[in-house]
Amino acid sequence: MWSNFFVQQEEEGRMGVAGGGQGGGLAGMKGFRGGQRRTNKMSDSQEGKIKLVFFVAIVGVTLTVLGMGTEFWVELAQPKNYSGNQTCQMAHYGLWKGCIRTLWVADIDPERTSCGPAELPGESNCTYFKFFTSGENAVIFKKTTNRNLNLAAAILALLSLTMMVMGSICIAMSLNKGVPFFLKPASFCFILSGVLVLLSVLIFHQSVLALLSSDHSIPLHHELSWSVACVGSAGAILIIGGVLFIFLALPFSPWQKCFPHKDSTT
């Protein structure tokens, strides 16, 4: 009887060990699958690189908004002695608004032949363009703007802002979910926004040339102003940021060769 009891206890112990082994095996399989799933997550170093590139892209977005909201894309200046009195006139405008400024000739650099620059003190009269409302062309010093070119430049600028917002949303989702899946659409959005910004600048320059060629009765000196420099720099920065996002989205990022990730367990 005692021998049967010990045999039964031994068999139950073996079954318990076998059950524990099966349970451990299942737990190990679950842990392995979980480890496979966690390999799709971003590492801390990759997340830091994404945040760094995103900061670069945000700089481009800021410069674009700054340049688009100002009316210093181009300056049109009459000769400073054209009126034959103590004042002269110049104009500066952007995508949405134009200003006519009256400056004192005495404040202008003696070596400068044209009126300006726009930063000098004087009277200013600014009006918004009617391209987007009644469709009327603006007249600046007897010269008429080309409505189609100005509209095209403004629409491209607005489309570039839309692509910047979409790219920023993709980066925010990628950082929130911890997966690099959204880096590729974000890179596409930022590269396209940079290209649209540069196209907007080119078309705006063509609109300025069309304005100057519409009438030759008043000689004008023209030069692109600091807003165009901001927008042009922003376009280049956005394209660079989009290309860097493509590198980060690759399975083996080129950055890993330059900055290899060190395992914290070693």
- Would you say residue 42 has pLDDT above 60? yes
Distance CA(99)–CA(72), nearest Å, equals 9
18 within a domain of the structure (yes/no): no
Q: Is residue 12 part of a domain?
A: no
User: What digits encode the pLDDT tens for the residues 187-222?
Assistant: 999 999 999 999 999 999 999 999 999 888 888 999
Q: What pLDDT is recorded for position 60?
A: 94
More confident residue, 62 or 176: 62
Distances (CA, A) of 156 to 73, 81, 106, 152, 244: 15, 38, 41, 6, 23
What CATH number is given to the structural domain containing 146? 1.20.140.150
pLDDT-based confidence at 34, cuts 50/70/90?
very low
- How high is the pLDDT of residue 252? 52
| pLDDT category of residue 265 using cuts at 50, 70 and 90 | very low
Residue-level pLDDT at 23:
46
Give the chain's domain count: 1
Taking the whole predicted model, whether its pTM rises above 0.85 is answered as no
Give the tens place of pLDDT for each residue, 157-171.
999 999 999 999 999
pLDDT at 28: 43
Please enumerate in sequence order all residues whose Cβ is within 8 A of that of 43, keeping only pairs 6 or more positions apart, or say none: 261
Residue 148 pLDDT: 92
Say if 88 falls within a structural domain.
yes
- CA–CA dist 47, 50 (Å, integer): 5
Q: Select the highest-mean-pLDDT range: 26-40, 172-186, 191-205, 215-229.
A: 191-205
Task: Report, as an integer, the average pLDDT of 42-53.
Answer: 85
- Scan for tokens 């134009």, then name that residue: 98
Answer whether residue 32 is part of any domain: no
Between residues 180 and 252, the one the model is more confident about: 180
Judge whether 225 lies within some domain: yes
Question: According to the model, what pLDDT value does residue 179 have?
Answer: 79
Burial 221-234 (b: 16+ CB within 10 A, else e): bbebbebbebbbbb
The mean of the pLDDT values for the chain is: 81
Residue 34 covered by a domain: no
Q: Is residue 6 part of a domain?
A: no
Is residue 156 in a domain? yes
Examine the pLDDT at 257 and tell me if it is beyond 80. Answer: no
What pLDDT, on a 0 to 100 scale, did the predictor assign at position 110? 87
Per the structure, the complete domain to which residue 73 belongs is given by: 45-250
Which of the two residues, 119 and 39, has the higher pLDDT score? 119
Whole-angstrom distance, CA of residue 266 vs CA of residue 253: 22
What's the whole-number mean pLDDT along residues 130-147?
88
Query: End-to-end CA distance of the chain, in Å?
Result: 57
